[in-house]
Amino acid sequence: MRQLIIDTETTGLDPRQDHRVIEFAALELVDRRPTGRTLHLKLDPEREIDLGATEVHGMTWDDLRGRPTFRDAAAEIIEFVRGAEWIIHNAPFDVDFLDVELARIDAPACGTLATRIVDTLAMAREAFPGKRNNLDALCERFGVDHAQRTLHGALLDAQLLSEVYLAMTRGQDSLAMDLPRAASGAADAPGAAPAGPRPAVIVLAPTPEELAAHRAYLDALDTSSKGRCLWLALEREAGEPA
């Protein structure tokens, strides 16, 4: 099974007030093992970023001017994410933003592109009612080193969530978030895969720079956690590089 850990950063809180996606990251798992394939994009929002959002992720419009817009990057994003199960922390937030961005360019909605969308925040609230269940709290609960997370960032947060998700779901069934499909019928029920043959998925390999940054992060995480980095543990078990 192909799964994607997905995260975004945005200019603000409400896409219906013209707030935009400014960073997108997706990390691939196949049969619950990280493949090392990622898609990571920073995007020009063509507007100012709210101060409150900048305080969360550290990015301003000046940092992003001249980068591709969501429209420019949409085909690349769609080809990478189509036909996979998506795993997102607080999925309604990211899905809402992505749906609005996709609607602007008349592209299929998230509920059509994904075979299923799993909300890890909903999973955590069900498993740990009454406790803090944000990403930092879950990292602490499952022993995932998040010391480098001084600001939010889509790629780093997706890497951390991948470790949290794998720890949370060992021996458990995941909890899917029901989303309406574009058309009616049994094949279009929430969580069902689209009927008929799926379009071919084009796998976009990371650049050498992205691979080097990913490896450096994992090595630092493994060192600081005294060999407890789940991502590298799975890699060592498989005998293949992540």
Enumerate the active-site residues. 152
Residue 80: burial class (beta carbons within 10 Å; 0-12, 13-18, 19+): buried
What are the backbone angles phi and psi of residue 53, rounded to the nearest 5°? -70, -40
Q: How far apart are CA 32 and CA 127, in angstroms?
A: 20
**Alpha-carbon distance values, 89 to 94, 155, 216 (Å):** 8, 13, 24
Q: How far apart are CA 188 and CA 138, in angstroms?
A: 33
Strand partners, 87: 5, 118
Percent helix, strand and coil across the chain, each rounded to 5?
45, 15, 40
If DSSP codes are grouped into helix, strand and coil, which group holds residue 85?
strand
**C-alpha angle 10-153-49 in degrees, rounded to nearest 5:** 30
Q: How far apart are CA 27 and CA 52, in angstroms?
A: 27
